[in-house]
Structure 1
Amino acid sequence: MPTDYHNHLEKGTLTLDYLEQFTKQAAQKNIKHFGISEHAYHFYQTKDIVSKPWMEERRYYDMDDYVALFQQAHQKGMDVKMSIEMDYTPGKHQEMADFISRYPFDYVIGSVHWNGDFGIDLAEYRKEWDRRDLHEIYTTYYDQVVTLAQSNLFDIMGHIDLVKIFNYIPKDEAFLLEQYERATDALSQSKTCVEISTAGLRKPVGRMYPEPVLLEMCYKKGIPIVFSSDAHEPAHVGFAYDQAIALAKEVGYSTVMTFEQGNRKEIYF
């Protein structure tokens, strides 16, 4: 019984009709634990947490409308969890905590998408990869993964090794393993789960998040997992889950974490 907790409505509308396209796809894939986690930067209420020109062009939602959408969905009998994907922002822990506490999220995803003003997963910034020091990018990225975990604000770490998205990967294996070790050490001391995300298979890197060796570290340190597709359109819900489940089992996992109204429960998949 897998989960799909990382999905976005941003290519469509905040309407029941569009939301139902996602939930129907989840039902067809036999995904019993399904949630929407819209990007927090779309909402006016997060401007005090993170504000970049790229985001301001895309800040057009109100949280009241978002909450109302899920209330309508639940009244209609739709089993869908309400979440948010927050851009983890160093130095804004109190602001992030205040925002999270104001809304009845079933769970909250924390992700690292930015290195200062460098949007690491955005096509608009892709040329920056050739201008910057690769080891410095990775070190700074995993610095944020560590402090994200230490903040203990988030239920799920989104696509933990997103930094590999454009296939810029250090050749120094010892350096990479060092980053993985410190990230998983921090996560193992927090409440934060790690998602096995099939989204990477649809990206230039062509690989799931996380790498098998990183997922194995998570397993050995007792870090729980969830499955996610990071769907930005209904057809991608549950994308390539056969590969995700096979990877989880190969590493040793047999359970996933589920969430409802802030409570968590581990179940077998």
Structure 2
Amino acid sequence: MRSDYHNHLEKGTLTLDYLERFLHEAKEKGIEEFGISEHAYHFYQTKDILRNPWVDERRYYDMNDYVSLFHQAWEKGYNLKMSIEMDYTPGKHKEMEKFIQSYDFDYVIGSVHWVGDFGIDLAEYRKEWEIRDVKDVYEKYYDQIVTLAESNLFHIVGHLDLVKIFGYIPKDKDFLLEQYERATDALAKSKTCVEISTAGLRKPIGEMYPDPELLQMCFNKNIPIVLSSDAHEPEHVGYEYDRAVDFAKSIGYSSIATFNKGKMKMQPLT
């Protein structure tokens, strides 16, 4: 079983023709479980959850059109999972829960992209890393990972150590491992899976998410995994999946989680 649960249509259109390009790529690469998980901030229905100038300029979809697209695909017989990737937003648990429960998602990805007003993975904010305290950013980032897990609103946490994307990593190894420990402790007590994401191979850091030591902690604490490419264009679906599978197996994983209408099922990792 191979799955790819983290994919975006935002560089194209919410049309069946564009979606079919992703589905075709998934079929070509032997991916049996495929899902689209567009960024929630693009939708008008999330304007009461995450607001800032960068996000507000990019809020241009309606959830009715999104859901309709999945129904068009299902009517044509496609095996397609409906999901969303939601920016975990502290202080907005009720609003996030209301939004999530309003739609019949197969699974929901929760991710941390913002530390306060700092878009940690955005090229527009990259220079901010030079003037901020890296340890402070990491601590606040993992604070959110912990409360994301504790909220139990999400089935999957996206790119668990995204904060390393530009290669800014605390030199204090004990501090870093402490962040990993508290994040995985919280995840182990939740329903939240962790994704092995090959997207980091396409980013400045040049390595998968999560870090091997972090993934080893996940395995040791029995936290399930899913596979993801975080594709924003069709050709990146299933990107470098052989490396992802080898990585998972090297840590000790032999199964992955799959989802259907919010219910998890474990499948052999092949």
Task: Find the aligned partners of 2:165 and 2:39 in 1 and give their Cα distance.
Answer: 18
Partner of 1:87: 87
Deviation at 1:241, TM superposition (A): 0.6
How is 1:138-149 mapped onto 2 (pairs within 5 angstroms)? 138-149=138-149
1:68 is aligned to 68
Q: Runs of at least 4 residues of structure 1 off by over 6 A?
A: none
Offset, 1:228: 0.1
SS in 2 for 1:12: coil
Q: Deviations over 1:76-132 (max 9, x none)?
A: 101110100000000000100000000010000000000111000000000100111
What's 1:245 paired with? 245
One-letter amino acid of the structure 2 residue matched with residue 129 of structure 1: W
Hey, what does 2:128 align to over in structure 1? 128
- Report the Cα offset of residue 262 of structure 1: 1.4
Question: Residue 97 in 1 paired to residue 97 in 2?
Answer: yes
**Distance in 2 of aligned mates of 1:200 and 1:221:** 23
Structure 1 segment 132-211 matched on structure 2, within 5 A: 132-211=132-211
* One-letter identity of the residue aligned with 1:37: S
Amino acid of the structure 1 residue aligned with 2:160: I
Structure 2: tracts of 5 or more residues without a match: none
Measure the CA separation in 2 of the matches of 1:186 and 1:54: 30
The TM-score, its normalising length taken from structure 1, stands at 0.99
* Alpha-carbon distance in structure 1 between the residues aligned to 2:56 and 2:143: 26
Paired letter, 2:65: D
Measured on the aligned residues, the alpha-carbon RMSD in Å equals 0.4
Q: What's 2:53 paired with?
A: 53
Q: Deviations over 1:157-201 (max 9, x none)?
A: 000000000000111111110000000000000000000000000
Q: Secondary structure at the match of 1:182?
A: helix
Query: Aligned partners of 1:72 and 1:236: how far apart in 2?
Result: 23
**1:267 aligns to what?**
267
Which residue of 1 is the match for residue 27 of structure 2?
A: 27
* Residue 264 (structure 1) shift: 1.2
Q: What is the count of residue pairs matched by the alignment? A: 269
Aligned partner of 2:43: which letter? F
What is the TM-score normalised by the length of structure 2?
0.99
Q: Could you tell me which residue of structure 1 aligns to residue 77 of structure 2? A: 77
The one-letter amino acid paired with 1:138 is Y
State the Cα distance separating 1:253 from its structure 2 match: 0.2
Secondary structure of the corresponding residue to residue 231 of structure 1: coil
1:2 positional shift: 1.3
Structure 2: how far apart are the matches of 1:18 and 1:148? Answer: 32
- Please state how far the C-alpha of 1:37 moved relative to its aligned partner: 0.2
Cα distance between partner residues in 1 of 2:209 and 2:2: 16
Per-residue displacement from partner, 1:61-90 (whole Å, max 9, x unpaired)? 000000000011000101110100000000
Show the counterpart of 1:232: 232
Q: Report the Cα distance in structure 1 between the residues aligned to 2:36 and 2:43, rounded to whole angstroms.
A: 15
Amino acid at match of 1:178: E
Letter matched to residue 89 of structure 1: T
Deviation at 1:3, TM superposition (A): 1.0
Matches of 2:63 and 2:255, distance apart in 1 = 32
Give the Å deviation of 1:225. 0.1
Counterpart-to-counterpart distance in 2, 1:73 and 1:137: 41
Q: How far did 1:138 drift?
A: 0.2
- For 2:196, the aligned partner's letter is I
Could you tell me which residue of structure 1 aligns to residue 16 of structure 2? Answer: 16
Question: How far apart are the structure 1 equivalents of 2:45 and 2:213?
Answer: 38
